[in-house]
């Protein structure tokens, strides 16, 4: 049986791109009935074995083992996550950025922080915002993340982002209206994804993406243009796993006096000491405490 990649799932159909073919063909397939009986759902990003049928369509027969699996958006085998946050309109939200980073770390994906709409800083000539953007970039690079500042209007940083995605399946995530579709359009001219105007009153854009679909880049990479997120919850993450999703905590957590230290109130906590000494950024620790309390509160309610 030939091998293919599911690039779109819609209304019970799976659109499979043959991996052995150089042709730009995508086969509309149904999943085998056994999948439903076993509670298995093929996902966008799955590598599958399929059988072409006489009517020009096909059947997905087998799903090959997955490297990663995301629940929201539902996608398999993604290895990179591009987190897009605009420097203006809407304003940078570091608490939400840290929340995304927690989910991405938990999912085992490699994050790339992309600060979009750099052109707005030049347009408005705001030196304070320009300095803040630079400081945010330096802060997250100190933590250990790669940060690229981009502008879809001028093309700045676009090639750099595209180069990082070569040969991988990546997801784009972030606030609505930060320029996900605009950046994809800039990376792949002729794509013409729908973009939305920003509502200045609400500070966010309308969702313009309705389903998960893989967009093929010309360097062997695929990007999942995913529905915008307005909020994330922590239902699939255990509270004891939270600190491991703050990557800068790990070297200090090993030195804590108590195993399983929550880094909130225990004596001999090296993480809190590192915050006081300026080794761990205080805003990141503050968000950790907020997320911890949020998770404990949700656990009580469910």
Q: What is the pLDDT at residue 30?
A: 93
Q: Using CA atoms of 169, 173, 176, 179 in order, give the dihedral in degrees to the nearest 10.
A: -60
- DSSP alpha helix (H) spans, the chain: 33-38, 94-107, 118-124, 127-143, 158-164, 180-187, 250-253, 270-276, 282-301
Instruction: Pick out the residues of the known binding site for Zn(2+).
Output: 256, 261, 263, 269
Beta bridge partners of 59: 30, 51
Cα–Cα distances (Å) from 133 to 87, 155, 182, 240, 288, in that order, read 7, 18, 20, 32, 22
Beta strand pairing call for 169-174 and 146-149: unpaired
Closest CA to 7 of 68, 73, 76, 54: 76
Instruction: Pick out the residues of the known binding site for GTP.
Output: 116-119, 174-182
Closest CA to 175 of 225, 117, 224, 228: 228
CA-based max dimension of the chain: 70
Beta strand pairing call for 75-76 and 80-86: unpaired
Q: What is the pLDDT at residue 193?
A: 53
Q: Residue-wise over 250-271: b if at least 16 C-beta within 10 A, else e? A: eebbeebeeeebbbeeeeebbb
Q: For residue 224, give the H/E element and its range.
A: strand 222-225
Phi and psi for 8 in degrees, rounded to 5? -160, 145
Instruction: Pick out the residues of the known binding site.
Output: 116-119, 174-182, 256, 261, 263, 269
Q: What is the pLDDT at residue 202?
A: 32
Beta strand pairing call for 146-149 and 58-63: unpaired
Q: What is the pLDDT at residue 246?
A: 97
Domains and CATH numbers, the chain: 3-65 (2.40.50.140), 75-225 (3.40.50.300), 239-301 (1.10.40.50)
The per-residue pLDDT string of the chain (302 residues; one tens digit each, 9 = 90 and over) reads 899 999 999 988 999 999 887 677 899 999 998 888 888 899 999 999 999 998 889 999 999 999 998 877 789 999 999 998 887 777 788 999 999 999 899 889 999 999 887 777 665 556 777 787 888 899 999 999 999 988 877 888 899 999 999 999 998 887 777 777 778 888 776 665 554 433 333 333 444 445 788 988 889 899 986 654 444 667 678 899 999 999 999 999 999 999 999 999 999 999 999 999 999 999 999 999 999 999 988 766 65
């Amino acid at each position: 049986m030939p091998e293919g990649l599911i690039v779109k799932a819609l209304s019970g159909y799976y659109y499979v791109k043959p991996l052995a073919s150089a042709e730009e063909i995508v086969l509309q397939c149904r999943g085998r009935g056994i999948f439903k009986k076993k509670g298995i759902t093929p996902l966008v990003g799955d590598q599958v074995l399929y059988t072409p049928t006489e009517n020009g369509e096909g059947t997905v027969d087998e799903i090959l083992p997955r490297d990663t699996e995301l629940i929201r958006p539902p996608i398999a085998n993604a290895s990179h996550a591009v987190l897009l946050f605009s420097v203006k309109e809407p304003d940078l939200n570091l608490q939400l950025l840290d929340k995304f980073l927690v989910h991405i770390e938990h999912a085992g994906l490699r994050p790339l922080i992309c600060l979009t709409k750099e052109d707005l800083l030049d347009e408005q000539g705001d030196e304070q915002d320009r300095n803040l953007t630079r400081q945010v970039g330096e802060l997250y690079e100190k933590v250990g993340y790669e940060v690229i500042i981009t502008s879809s209007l001028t093309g700045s940083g676009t090639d750099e982002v595209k180069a990082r995605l070569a040969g991988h399946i990546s997801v784009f995530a972030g606030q609505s209206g930060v320029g996900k579709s605009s950046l994809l359009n800039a990376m792949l001219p002729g794509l013409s994804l729908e973009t939305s105007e920003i509502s200045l009153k609400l500070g966010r854009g309308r969702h313009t993406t309705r389903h998960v679909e893989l967009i093929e880049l010309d360097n062997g990479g695929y990007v999942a243009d995913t529905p915008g997120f307005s909020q994330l919850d922590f239902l699939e993450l255990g509270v004891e796993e939270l600190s491991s999703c703050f990557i800068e905590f790990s070297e200090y957590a090993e030195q804590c006096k108590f195993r399983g230290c929550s880094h909130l109130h225990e004596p001999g906590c090296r993480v809190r000491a590192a915050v006081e000494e300026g080794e761990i950024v205080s805003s990141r620790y503050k968000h950790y405490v907020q997320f911890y309390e949020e998770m404990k509160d949700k656990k009580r309610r469910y």
